[in-house]
Structure 1
Amino acid sequence: MISIIMPVYNAEKYVEETIKSILNQTFRDFELIMIDDGSKDSSRTIIDKYLQIDSRTKGIFFEKNRGVSCAREAGFKAAAGEYISFMDADDIIHPRMYEVLYESLLNNSADISVCDFCEFNNELKWGDISHRILTIDEYNGIDVSERMILGKEIGSAGLWGKIYSKNLFNAVDYEVYKRSIPICFFEDGFILPSIYANANKVVHVKETLYGYRIFMQSLSHGLTNGYYFMNQAKAGIENTIFIEKFSDKSTYEHILKRQIESSMLCVMKGFYSYSRYKKDRKKRDDARSYFLYVYRKYQRECLVHSKTNDIQFKMFYFSPFLWTYLVAIPYFEFIRRLG
C-alpha cells in the first residue's frame, strides 16, 4: 500500500480538485492522509466531506498553523503503507500516475520511482511542456543526491511526484536535522539528499504525470521571504556536511564550493527580507550572525567564486547595510517589477 501524505493550509480553492485527482487513480491500493494545518478557510470542511465518502482517506487536524514540515511529519507517523508519497494541496496528478510509478518501482527493484511534471496556472493540459525530473533512466541514490545539491537535477528537488520505500525515511538520523532547524526536517531541501543517499536505485519514468500549479504573484513574494531564505541556507550547509561521508574528496570539495556560495547568498537575502520590518530585527541580527559564522568557517571556499559574489560577500561582511542599499534594494525592486 502507498501512503499519500498531503498537508493542507487555506487551500479551499483547489484542494477538492486535488483530492479527486488522487481518489480517481487507476491504482487503488493507497491511503490518503490529509493534514489540515490550522486552515482559516473551508479546507477542513472539504476534508471532512471526503472522510465520509471514501474509506481510504484519513484526516489529521491542527488547531494552529505549524508549517508544512510538521504536517508532513504527522502524516508520516500515521502512515500504514509500505511506500510513501507526497502531494501538494493545489496540484493535480494524472489518473495513472501511481499505477505507472508503482509498477516501475517493482519491475526495477528500485527504492524510489519518479516521473516528469508540467507546470500550470489555471487549466492543466497533459500535453503541455514537461520538465524532466532526471536526465537518465536509472541512478544510484548517491549520484542523485550529489547532482541535486549541485543543481544538476533541478526537477528532483521536490518531495512530490515520487514513490519512496518507507524504510528510506527510517534510516535517516532525524536528530541531526532537528538540531539545526527543529521544524524543517520534512522540508524538501532538507530531507531529499538524505533520502536519495540511502536508496540503492532510483528509477525515472519518462512520462509527465504530475501537474505542479504555479501562481503568477509568487515570484516577487517568494523573493522577500526571510524564513524561506534562511531555511534554504541552513539546508544547504547541513546537506553539504551530510554528503561528505558518501562522496570522494574531489566531488565533495566541488559540492562544498558550490553550496557555500549559494547558502551565503540566501543568508544575505534573508537579512534583507528581515530588515524590512521592525518586528523582525532579531531575525535580521540572527541572519547576520549566521553569515559571519559561515564566512569565517569556510572563508577559503567563499573567496574562490565569481568576482561579483566575492565583492558582495566582502561588502556584506564589513557593512550589511551598505550592501542593502547598493545591491539588495535595487535588485529586489527590479524583480518586483518583473513580477
Structure 2
Amino acid sequence: MNIFIKTKSYLKRYGALNLIRKVTEKASRGFDISEEFACENLTDEELLKQRNYKFLHSPVISIVMPVYNPDDRYFRQTLNSIKNQSYENWQLCIGDAGNNKKNKILEEVFGNDDRVKYLDIPVNYGISGNSNKALELATGGYIGLMDHDDILTSDALFMIVSKLNEGYDIVYTDEDKTDENLNRYFSVYRKPDFNLNLLLSNNYMCHFTVISKKIISEAGNFRSEYDGAQDYDLFLRCIEKTDRIGHVNKVLYHWRTVGGSTSGNPFNKEYAFDAGKRALQDYILRNNIKGVKVAQMEDPGYYRIRCGRKGKLSLSMVVDGTITNDGSDYYLVLDENMKISSSDIDKMLKRAYFTGADIVVPKIIRNGRYEYNGRAYTGNGYTPSLKGKREWYKGQSNLGILNMDVNIVPAKGILIRKKLYDKYINHKGRYICNLKGSFKGVKMVYAPESVISK
C-alpha cells in the first residue's frame, strides 16, 4: 500500500501524538523477523519422515477456501503450499464466486487430484455465503479455514493432526506475516494457550484454525450478518460447544500483506471491526451476561468488555501485611509505595465479578514505565513482558492493554480472594505462577483498564 495513504489513514484515526507513539513503539521492536520460520524450515528428510508417520487417528482435514478474484500468482502459491503438505489426508474445498474463475489454475497445480473439490458460484453471496457453499463440499471430519492468498508451512497439517490426536475439537496455531513476494517474514505472533478473556478482546486465534465439522454444524455455520468478522463470530459460537481447545505453539501460517488486505492496512475494512463488535454483543446475549457493554478500542479489531456490576463483592486493603478489615470477599494487596484510585479499584472488583477470577491484576507502572503487564503461557514460554517500557506502549498485538487470563502475577498489587490469601502470604517469591505448586488452577485475570502507580 502507498505509504502516504497509510500514514493519512493513521493520522486521521490516532492524531499526531498517538501516531508518533505508535511509530516509536514499533521501531523499538526492530524489524521483528519471524525467527521461527527462518530457523525451522524442515529438511526433505524431515518432511519424508512426517509423510511416512502413522497416526492412531488420521482424519481428513477439509480446507475450506472461499475464492474471489485473487491474484493468479498469489493463488498458485497458496495452492502449492497445500499440495506440499507432509500430511496427505486432506481435502481442498473451493467456492469460487469471482468473475475471473480459477478452475484452470487448480487443474495446472493439482491435475486430476480427487482431493480437490471446486464449485463455481454464479452469484456472489458474500464471504459467509461463499464459505458455506464451500463448506457443503467438505466430507472431512475437521474443517480448516484458509484465505485464498495465504501460505501454509509444509508441516502445518501434520502438526495440527498431532494435536487432534490428543483429543481436541478445535486447534489453532501461531502465525506471522509475509510480504507480497514471500521474501520477508515478520510480526510473528506467539499466541497463548486457549485464553477466553483474550478472545473476548480480539480474535487472537485467527489463522490457522481447524475445527470439528460436527461442532461447526452445531454452531450453525457462517452467518452473513457478520461478514468481515465471520471467523470471529464462528469461533465465539464454537467455543460454546466444547472446552477441548488446543494450541500448536509454532508458526504454521503466513498471512500475506497486500495493499487491500486487513493484514496490510487494518483501516481497509472498518465494517469488519463493527461486525466483530456485534459478534461479541451476540455472544453476551446468548450467554445471558448482564451489566456489560462492548466498546471498540482505539486500534481496529480490539474490544473492551466494560463491566457495570460488582454484585455484593466487598474489599479490604492489605498494605505491607496489615489488613484493614477481615470480613471481605477480596483483599487488595499493596505495598506502601503503591497508589490506585478508587475508580480503578471499582473496575477491578467489576472485572472479578464478570470473570469469576480468583486474582485480578492491573497494569503496574513505576516512574512512567511498565513494571507489570499481563503474561499468559504460550506453550513454550510466556507472552512478552513490557517491563521498563513507557506506560503508553501497547505491546505486540496490543497484549499490554487487553484483558486476558494470565499465568504470572506479581506478589504485590493484586486483588485476591480472601480464601486464597493464606496460601498467598506463604509465597516467598516475587511472582505467583498458576502452572505449578499450590496455585495450579487459580484463575488469574489481567485488567489493564485499572492502573497502580509507584
Normalization by structure 1: what TM-score? 0.62
Paired position in structure 2 for 1:228: 272
Paired position in structure 2 for 1:24: 84
Paired position in structure 1 for 2:238: 195
2:68 partner amino acid: Y
Distance 1:232 1:185, change over 3 A: closer
Q: Give the Cα separation in 1 of the matches to 2:281 and 2:129.
A: 21
Listed as ranges, the gaps of 5+ residues in structure 1 are: 267-297, 306-339
Paired position in structure 2 for 1:131: 189
1:120-161 superposed Cα distances (whole Å, 9 cap, x missing partner)? 11243697452123x13xx4xxxx44431123xx531x2x31
Listed as ranges, the gaps of 5+ residues in structure 2 are: 1-59, 301-305, 310-342, 345-454
Q: Give the Cα separation in 2 of the matches to 1:184 and 1:167.
A: 22
Q: Secondary structure at the match of 1:45?
A: helix
Q: Tell me, yes or no, if structure 1 residue 116 matches structure 2 residue 163.
A: no
Structure showing greater relative contact order (alpha-carbon pairs closer than 8 Å, 6 or more residues apart) = 1
Matches within 5 A, 1:52-91: 52-91=111-150
Identity %: 21
Shift of 1:200: 2.2
Q: Give the Cα separation in 1 of the matches to 2:76 and 2:299.
A: 38
Q: Tell me, yes or no, if structure 1 residue 170 matches structure 2 residue 217.
A: yes
How many residues were matched structurally?
245
Q: Give the Cα separation in 2 of the matches to 1:195 and 1:103.
A: 21
Q: Tell me, yes or no, if structure 1 residue 155 matches structure 2 residue 155.
A: no
- 1:51–1:58 Cα contact (<8 Å) kept: no
Shift of 1:235: 1.9
Q: Give the Cα separation in 2 of the matches to 1:173 and 1:36.
A: 22
- 1:35–1:75 Cα contact (<8 Å) kept: yes
Paired position in structure 2 for 1:287: none
Q: Tell me, yes or no, if structure 1 residue 14 matches structure 2 residue 74.
A: yes
1:149 partner amino acid: L
Matches within 5 A, 1:159-308: 160-173=207-220, 182=225, 184=227, 187-216=230-259, 218=261, 223=267, 225=269, 227-242=271-286, 244-245=287-288, 253=291, 256-257=292-293, 260-262=294-296
Distance 1:265 1:216, change over 3 A: closer
Q: Give the Cα separation in 2 of the matches to 1:100 and 1:29.
A: 13
Shift of 1:190: 1.4
Paired position in structure 2 for 1:278: none
Q: Secondary structure at the match of 2:219?
A: coil
Shift of 1:50: 4.5
Q: Give the Cα separation in 2 of the matches to 1:155 and 1:161.
A: 11
Normalization by structure 2: what TM-score? 0.48
Structure with greater Cα Rg: 2
1:28 partner amino acid: E
1:238-262 superposed Cα distances (whole Å, 9 cap, x missing partner)? 12222x25xxx6xx65xx33xx222
Q: Give the Cα separation in 1 of the matches to 2:84 and 2:299.
A: 43
1:288-337 superposed Cα distances (whole Å, 9 cap, x missing partner)? xxxxxxxxxx9x79xx99xxxxxxxxxxxxxxxxxxxxxxxxxxxxxxxx
More strand by share: 2
Q: Give the Cα separation in 2 of the matches to 1:239 and 1:94.
A: 33
Q: Give the Cα separation in 2 of the matches to 1:28 and 1:225.
A: 35
Q: What is the RMSD computed on CA atoms of the aligned residues?
A: 3.4
